[in-house]
A and B are shown apart, each in its own frame.
Chain A
Amino acid sequence: MSRYNKILAISFVLLIILSVISLSLGVKSLTLETVFNTVINGGDEDFIINQYRLPRIIISILVGIGLAVSGVLTQGIIRNPLASPDLMGISGGAGLFACSSLLIWPEVHSALLPLIAILGGFSAAFLIWLLNHFNHPSPARLALVGIAVSAFLTSCINFILVLHPVEMNSAMIWLTGSLWGRNWDYIWPLLPWLIILVPFSFYLAWSLDLSALGEETATSLGVNTECLQVLALSSAVALASVSVAVCGTIGFVGLLAPHLARLLVGPRHKLILPIAALTGALLVLSADTLSRNLAPPLEMPAGVLTAVLGAPYFIFLLYRYKGW
């Protein structure tokens, strides 16, 4: 077995072990035996396991995959190690649109929510693109612009939450990202997008490798760079936005997962993508598991935990970054 397959297998096994642990831990801790019995046969704990914990675990895995793949695409195209959907304000835009549509028209159909979020994500991306187009900031400056845009969008979310006060945990979903109260209903709007977009990004992986060589080289090797940029960034925006539509802006996953994957398996996107997806899923799942179990029955938002992990890593990246 090659080293790559080993890494892939290990992260996959880790993900499964973590899911099982996450199923058994909580306000009411259950034995592994009960967990397996309930998943297969149902029973007394059916509600806790199958209706409450299982959908949350599946959503965290899906969201982690979405954010991580989105991060890989963004970093691959912008070729800026500090780029990621949440630092570029895309998550902020999606969050703002999703949150305002939910609070202003509470009866909005759940299948529409990802579409609204995608609209928000694209608006934010368009704003960044405009600023970038007319000003040509350096990579570090671009990262800063993205952060400023996302700070602006976050304060808009804050503002809307003040206009339409909601319960604390729901507010936390939009402010820091949380999987509180997420059940099977939220999986169906999310799933089709991931089923289409994740394989599509695998299809783009080879072109992304070439575009890493520089635009001119990529063009001479037969890559339509403009087309690639539009396709990859659009899928990145869409992936991040649908994830945000379900559980808010869980920060730093889109930044961390691609970096960890690159650290593990080198620069080829075809190899990076699966590892990054698994790492992203692991990150969100462990954040959610911890968030349920740190101070039960209280819940910490998962976004708080990813920020605690992600912010120091971001600073470490700043240390290594040489392109000032």
Chain B
Amino acid sequence: MTLSFLFPPKKLMSVFILITVLLMGFVCSLYGQSEFSLRVNDVWNLFVSYDESNINQQIILSLRLPRSLTAAVIGFNLGIAGLLMQGLTRNPLASPTLFAISSGAACLTALNSLTVASIGGLSNEAVAFVGALTGGGLVFLLGGGLSSNQNALRLILAGIAINGLLTSLTRAVLIIADDMAYSLLHWLSGSLSGIDWSSWSQLWPLSLLGLFIATSTCRGLNLNALGEQTAASLGVNVTWLRIRICLAVLILTSISVTVAGPIAFVGLIAPHLARAWCGSNHFMLLPAAGLSGAALVCWADLVSRNIIPPAETPVGIITALIGTPFFIYLILKGKR
């Protein structure tokens, strides 16, 4: 009974459709737009009859597969991070980009990887985590997150200001470190070029950890939607819930930024898409938001490679071009 209550067949159908869309984007990005003439057949053969001497299969295996997998996982991470943030703050505009979490992570990562003295000898992941924490924390403090009369718009406006500040600082760091750092500008708007299996092995363990924590908060988030006091009276430890959510958001965002830079607005769009299809139950929303995010980044990556074929457009620019009109729509809609 619980199972069909938590996962109604109709909603499962939409998740199924999402998976199909994702898979289509995934497969297309495996063979589409290449200097070599890759075909769907090659993708199929790679999985069915693997041939070590086939150059096309080797290209797909060593270049395309890690990139597509990374795109999907990053999209999944960002979608879930956005969903958790929107669930926690009950603010439809909350997302890693707008709360400066991504740009905080990006800023400290840039500092760490470019300056001579790296920060305390920490690894990139740890530095990104600290940066994400700093960015998000600053926004929350300065946006009046602690005061009694919280205001959604104020938080968002503060987030945008901090975001602008951190992005400017990152640019300054990049310029001082290396004035020929044009490729780093690409990284700054989120780019999937230069992804290989090592980035994948860097990405998946922490993503899995974040996903695990995120899953554990679903029940709490469902109750939190009724209001914090109701949730508390229904036996949710609200403080503990918040800590877990923040932890999950920070882990998921910072690992994504470490690998591919701050890919904008995925965390804002994906949860809204998921909510439109799958209602308000977080047990359904979590996979749906993740899958929408993954599909979004996969398709955006495909588009970004197709615009000027030999060169690559940073995928973050494509998602920003889609995301900002959607953002405007959300702001205007929110009034009613």
On A, residues with C-beta under 8 Å from B are: 82, 131, 135, 137-138, 140-141, 143-145, 147-149, 151-152, 155-156, 158-159, 162-163, 165, 168-169, 171-172, 175-176, 251, 294-295, 298-301, 303-304, 307-308, 311-312, 314-315, 318-319, 321, 324
> Are B168 and A176 in contact, with the CB atoms below 8 A?
yes
> Are A304 and B324 in contact, with the CB atoms below 8 A?
no
Q: Choose one: A152, A311, A318, A324; the contact of B164 (CB below 8 Å).
A: A311
Q: Is B154 an interface residue (CB 8 A)?
A: yes
> Are A151 and B161 in contact, with the CB atoms below 8 A?
no
Tell me the bound Cα distance from A82 to B154 in angstroms: 11
Q: Choose one: A137, A143, A162, A319; the contact of B317 (CB below 8 Å).
A: A162
Tell me the bound Cα distance from A168 to B185 in angstroms: 9
Q: In chain B, residues 283-325, which have Cβ atoms closer than 8 Å to a Cβ of chain A?
A: 307-308, 311, 313-314, 317, 320-321, 324-325
Tell me the bound Cα distance from A131 to B151 in angstroms: 22
> Are B168 and A141 in contact, with the CB atoms below 8 A?
no
Q: Choose one: B153, B161, B314, B327; the contact of A148 (CB below 8 Å).
A: B327
Known: A162-B314, A172-B171, A304-B168. A141 touches B331 (CB 8 A): yes
> Are B328 and A152 in contact, with the CB atoms below 8 A?
yes
Tell me the bound Cα distance from A136 to B24 in angstroms: 41
> Are A159 and B321 in contact, with the CB atoms below 8 A?
yes
Known: A137-B332, A143-B157, A158-B320. A168 touches B180 (CB 8 A): yes
Tell me the bound Cα distance from A155 to B185 in angstroms: 13
Q: Choose one: B164, B179, B314; the contact of A307 (CB below 8 Å).
A: B164
> Are B313 and A137 in contact, with the CB atoms below 8 A?
no
B325 to nearest A CB, angstroms? 6
17 pairs, A vs B, C-beta closer than 8 Å: A137-B335, A140-B153, A141-B331, A144-B160, A147-B160, A148-B324, A152-B320, A155-B324, A158-B320, A168-B185, A172-B171, A300-B176, A304-B168, A315-B158, A318-B144, A318-B154, A318-B158
Q: In chain B, residues 161-181, which have Cβ atoms closer than 8 Å to a Cβ of chain A?
A: 161-162, 164-165, 168-169, 171-172, 175-176, 179-181
- When C-beta atoms are compared, the residue in chain A nearest to B264 turns out to be A155
Residues of chain A contacted by B220 (CB below 8 angstroms):
none
Residues of chain B contacted by A135 (CB below 8 angstroms):
332, 335
Tell me the bound Cα distance from A294 to B173 in angstroms: 12
On B, residues with C-beta under 8 Å from A are: 142-144, 151, 153-154, 156-158, 160-162, 164-165, 168-169, 171-172, 175-176, 179-182, 185-186, 189, 264, 307-308, 311, 313-314, 317, 320-321, 324-325, 327-328, 331-332, 334-335
Given A143-B157, A315-B143, A324-B154, 16 further pairs, Cβ under 8 A: A131-B332, A135-B335, A145-B328, A147-B157, A147-B160, A149-B324, A152-B320, A159-B321, A168-B180, A176-B168, A176-B171, A314-B157, A314-B161, A318-B143, A319-B144, A324-B151
Q: Choose one: B144, B175, B313, B332; the contact of A172 (CB below 8 Å).
A: B175
Q: Choose one: A131, A165, A299, A314; the contact of B328 (CB below 8 Å).
A: A131
Tell me the bound Cα distance from A156 to B325 in angstroms: 12
Tell me the bound Cα distance from A159 to B126 in angstroms: 31
> Are A155 and B320 in contact, with the CB atoms below 8 A?
yes
> Are A168 and B175 in contact, with the CB atoms below 8 A?
yes
B183 to nearest A CB, angstroms? 10
- When C-beta atoms are compared, the residue in chain B nearest to A306 turns out to be B168
- When C-beta atoms are compared, the residue in chain A nearest to B151 turns out to be A324
Residues of chain B contacted by A137 (CB below 8 angstroms):
331-332, 335
A134 to nearest B CB, angstroms? 9
Known: A152-B328, A319-B144, A324-B151. A300 touches B320 (CB 8 A): no
- When C-beta atoms are compared, the residue in chain B nearest to A303 turns out to be B168
Residues of chain B contacted by A144 (CB below 8 angstroms):
153, 156-157, 160, 331
- When C-beta atoms are compared, the residue in chain B nearest to A139 turns out to be B153
- When C-beta atoms are compared, the residue in chain A nearest to B324 turns out to be A152
- When C-beta atoms are compared, the residue in chain A nearest to B156 turns out to be A144
Tell me the bound Cα distance from A156 to B189 in angstroms: 12
Known: A165-B182, A171-B182. A158 touches B157 (CB 8 A): no
Known: A137-B332, A298-B179. A163 touches B168 (CB 8 A): no
Residues of chain A contacted by B179 (CB below 8 angstroms):
168-169, 298-299
Residues of chain A contacted by B335 (CB below 8 angstroms):
135, 137-138, 141
Residues of chain A contacted by B165 (CB below 8 angstroms):
307-308, 311-312
Nearest first, the 3 A-B pairs at minimum CB distance are A152-B324, A311-B165, A155-B320
Residues of chain B contacted by A308 (CB below 8 angstroms):
165, 168-169
B306 to nearest A CB, angstroms? 13
Residues of chain B contacted by A295 (CB below 8 angstroms):
176
> Are A301 and B171 in contact, with the CB atoms below 8 A?
yes
> Are A163 and B160 in contact, with the CB atoms below 8 A?
no
- When C-beta atoms are compared, the residue in chain B nearest to A152 turns out to be B324
Tell me the bound Cα distance from A159 to B311 in angstroms: 13
> Are A298 and B324 in contact, with the CB atoms below 8 A?
no
- When C-beta atoms are compared, the residue in chain B nearest to A324 turns out to be B151
Known: A137-B331, A171-B185. A300 touches B172 (CB 8 A): yes
Residues of chain A contacted by B321 (CB below 8 angstroms):
152, 155-156, 159
- When C-beta atoms are compared, the residue in chain A nearest to B93 turns out to be A144
Which of A144, A159, A172, A251: most chain B Cβ within 10 A? A144
Tell me the bound Cα distance from A175 to B182 in angstroms: 13
Residues of chain A contacted by B331 (CB below 8 angstroms):
137, 141, 144-145, 148
A288 to nearest B CB, angstroms? 14
B231 to nearest A CB, angstroms? 25
Which of A141, A295, A311: most chain B Cβ within 10 A? A311
- When C-beta atoms are compared, the residue in chain B nearest to A163 turns out to be B308
Tell me the bound Cα distance from A151 to B331 in angstroms: 14
> Are B328 and A148 in contact, with the CB atoms below 8 A?
yes
Tell me the bound Cα distance from A135 to B313 in angstroms: 34
A158 to nearest B CB, angstroms? 5
- When C-beta atoms are compared, the residue in chain B nearest to A166 turns out to be B182
Residues of chain B contacted by A169 (CB below 8 angstroms):
179
